[in-house]
Amino acid sequence: MSAEATNPEAAPTDVTVRRRGRARIDLRRLGRAALLNATAGPAPRDRLPDAIGHVAEAHRAHHPEADPTVLGRAYVLAESSHRGQFRKSGEPYITHPLAVTLILAELGAETTTLTASLLHDTVEDTEVTLDQVRREFGDEVAYLVDGVTKVEKIDYGAAAEPETFRKMLVATGNDVRVMSIKLADRLHNMRTLGVMRPEKQARIAKVTRDVLIPLAERLGVQALKTELEDLVFAILHPEEYETTRALVADHPGAADELGAVAEQVTAVLREAGIGAEVLVRPRHFVSVHRVRLKRGELRGCDFGRLLVLVAEDADCYGVLGELHTCFTPVISEFKDFIAAPKFNLYQSLHTAIAAPDGAVAEVLIRTHRMHKVAEAGVVALGNPHVGQEPDGTAPAAGLPPAEDGERVDPTRPGWLSRLLDWQQSAPDPDTFWTSLRADLAEDDEITVFHADGSAPGTISLPAGASCVDAAYAQHGEAAHACLGARVNGRLAPLSTVLGDGDTVQLLLAQDAVSGPSPEWLDHARTPAARIAITGWLRAHPESAAPPAPTDPRPQPSVPADRRSGAELHADLDGEPPAAVRPAGCCTPVPPDEITGFRVRGGSVTVHRARCSAVDTMRGLGREPVTVRWGDTAQGRVTLVAESFGRPGLLADLTEAIAAFGAAVVSANVEPPTEQRVRHTYTLQLPDAAGLAALMKAMRDVPGVYDVSRARHSRGLG
């Protein structure tokens, strides 16, 4: 695990400060032990080979009840099959699987993972077959070994590396332990990369930076991620690395400054009766480099953080309360990842406090279990198929198998499900490799809720994703027909960027001809969306340009028809009759409740009773005039149709209007804005009673999401 080994069995009121770290195992010494073991012959059956003793010791520290016998058998097979093979450093090859297994053992991996890690290169580099591994160690171990075995370069050529990662990721979707072994394998290879040519070092370091480190972050294996970051930093940025290394070397007293703050924190917690262990946690080189870029000149406390470990979740908040009461908190630094865990299982409270002498120290507060998961991530979760707890114990009942026979993995996160979905649409290795790096470059994840009828659910998306991404995440290629969305109940364009916790309802066209526009690519963040959109546009090149207008029916400007509307009468108390006309702002039709007002020229304008112009007229001191409908059933009305643009939409709308016998008096189509189009029609109705049915028919036209009576202001006369 990390340098700060913890003791979950500490007494409830014991508060300790620790600054010591555990030395890294000497892998060269392990290599010599392996070589001696190889020449001395097999070990007696009643004890493990000497070379694997370190692994067994680390394994027992996390799993006291584990039987290490199977590890001994796996080591014997690995050592005998790799005998005579050497690494480029000159060490016996068996030192590599031993080192990988030791890394995983220190992180708390269970026996099956360690067995597979000892054998992870046998099928790829020796005469051992996968069937042999399956016969001797079972299906679980064989699956893990196969998952990390590279594809044959002779079969895939230059595509071997991306196809190997594709294979590993698909296997990881079934069992995350596959990627755990790969990450430990890459860590040991990076530790010993110095024997390679500089150009090969750089190539491997870039792949590690772009793919393996993001995967370690997403799987929560911080202990591996931080060391990989430092190793990559040294290779790809040697000057910055040396500057940072020298900066750390020039501040040997940084740990003492943090230690002084730690002692103050210890005293506060002891007085409050909170059992805790306070650790001084040095930053790794990349972290120091980032802090220096952010803050400029560094002080002693900037070279590390304090880690406070407690027994229960409630104690975390108790510690937080005491620290914020007895020290000056830096509120902007507070984050609660316990109430809202990160998508990679990480839980902790983050804060920063200012000591009386002005030193500001960052503090991490978590339970022992949280710390184990924070350091080891999915490795600490053990075998996902028996539902082990993070402490290695198994619950009363295991997980049921999936209906389709696939393995069930409760640790499979949303980002991995998305990746496995879109990789199926990227058969080209270059597309897959480019999309994988782009997907892993996203630093955060959000969860949005979709509610389509009776099927509410959640969608996991990268931060910055839009409605376009949500559409393809939920509907796959059916999202080609997406017309728009409602975000938190309000209509929104597909370009809308979603936030964590938003509710999204996606609107799909019912016809089969709708498709995405090239502009969608500007709003798509996920590879799944970009691959699907690009594929559709390639298959429909005519959609890249706006279609030429070929519809012979009425287009955006139609001359007005001066036919009269429904008959209206005004009661003017014996005054001479005056012209009575419906107001253009609300276009009332029978049987709307109406009221009238005199306007310039002596005529009477009739409004719907709820028209906003009525209140305005009253505010101006205008007296209302009593008006009523005559016997004529026909009427004139102005309707506004809100829609998403698509070819043939205007023709479909006018056809729906014509089907009700309504005549178009005038029509106007505003220029599209963010793929939305507003149509305004003034219609002559043969029977005003059919208005509601006409509006429903217009709403049923694919692409139309709302139809309403006009409410614009036309002046007050």
Lowest mean pLDDT segment, chosen from 225-234, 243-252, 474-483, 552-561: 552-561
**Predicted pLDDT of residue 267:** 92
Is 302 labeled as catalytic in the residue annotation? no
Which one of the listed residues 67, 91, 106, 124 is annotated catalytic? 124
Query: Following DSSP, what letter does each residue of 625-640 receive, concatenated?
Result: EEEEE-S---EEEEEE
Band (pLDDT 50/70/90 cuts) for residue 573 is low
**Predicted pLDDT of residue 627:** 78
**Predicted pLDDT of residue 411:** 47
CA 413-147-151 angle, 5° bins: 125
Tell me the Ramachandran region of residue 299: left when phi exceeds 0, alpha when psi lies from -120 to 50, beta otherwise: beta
**Which position has the token pair 């290795």?**
429
**Which position has the token pair 């028919």?**
697
Tell me the Ramachandran region of residue 392: left when phi exceeds 0, alpha when psi lies from -120 to 50, beta otherwise: left
As a whole number, the mean pLDDT across the chain is 77
Averaged over 392-410, what is the pLDDT?
37
**Predicted pLDDT of residue 389:** 43
Share above pLDDT 90 across residues of the chain, in percent, rounded to a whole number = 19
Distance between CA 437 and CA 132 in Å, rounded? 35
pLDDT digits (tens, 9 = 90+) for 29-81: 544 454 445 444 455 555 566 678 888 888 998 889 888 889 999 999 999 99
Helix H, strand E, coil C: the string for 444-501 is: CEEEEEEEECCEEEEEEEECCCEHHHHHHHHHHHHHHHEEEEEECCEEECCCCECCCC
Is 242 labeled as catalytic in the residue annotation? no
**Predicted pLDDT of residue 568:** 65
CB-CB contact of 84 with 37 (8 Å) = no
Give pTM, 2 decimals: 0.62
**Predicted pLDDT of residue 227:** 92
- Tell me the three state secondary structure of residue 668: strand
Averaged over 433-443, what is the pLDDT?
72
Which residue did the predictor score with more confidence, 183 or 501? Answer: 183
> Cα 352 to the chain's mean position, in Å?
27
pLDDT digits (tens, 9 = 90+) for 203-233: 999 999 988 998 888 888 889 999 999 999 9
Give the count of beta carbons closer than 10 Å to the beta carbon of residue 302: 23
Lowest mean pLDDT segment, chosen from 97-101, 451-455, 508-512: 451-455
Give the count of beta carbons closer than 10 Å to the beta carbon of residue 508: 17
CB-CB contact of 97 with 116 (8 Å) = no
> Cα 105 to the chain's mean position, in Å?
30
**Predicted pLDDT of residue 88:** 86
Averaged over 420-424, what is the pLDDT?
73
Edge-to-edge strands, sheet with 445-452: 455-462, 445-452, 503-508, 482-487, 490-492
- The terminus-to-terminus CA distance of the chain in angstroms comes to 81
Q: Which residues pair with 637 in a beta bridge?
A: 683
Res 404 pLDDT > 70: no
**Predicted pLDDT of residue 131:** 93
Q: What Å distances lie between residue 631 and 472, 569, 606, 676, CA to CA?
A: 54, 10, 16, 40
Averaged over 591-619, what is the pLDDT?
74
Band (pLDDT 50/70/90 cuts) for residue 569 is low
Give the count of beta carbons closer than 10 Å to the beta carbon of residue 187: 23
Res 576 pLDDT > 70: no
Res 424 pLDDT > 50: yes
Averaged over 342-358, what is the pLDDT?
83
- Tell me the three state secondary structure of residue 677: strand
Distance between CA 81 and CA 93 in Å, rounded? 10
Position 527: which residue type? Answer: P
Band (pLDDT 50/70/90 cuts) for residue 303 is confident
CB-CB contact of 493 with 460 (8 Å) = no
Which one of the listed residues 57, 121, 125, 502 is annotated catalytic? 125
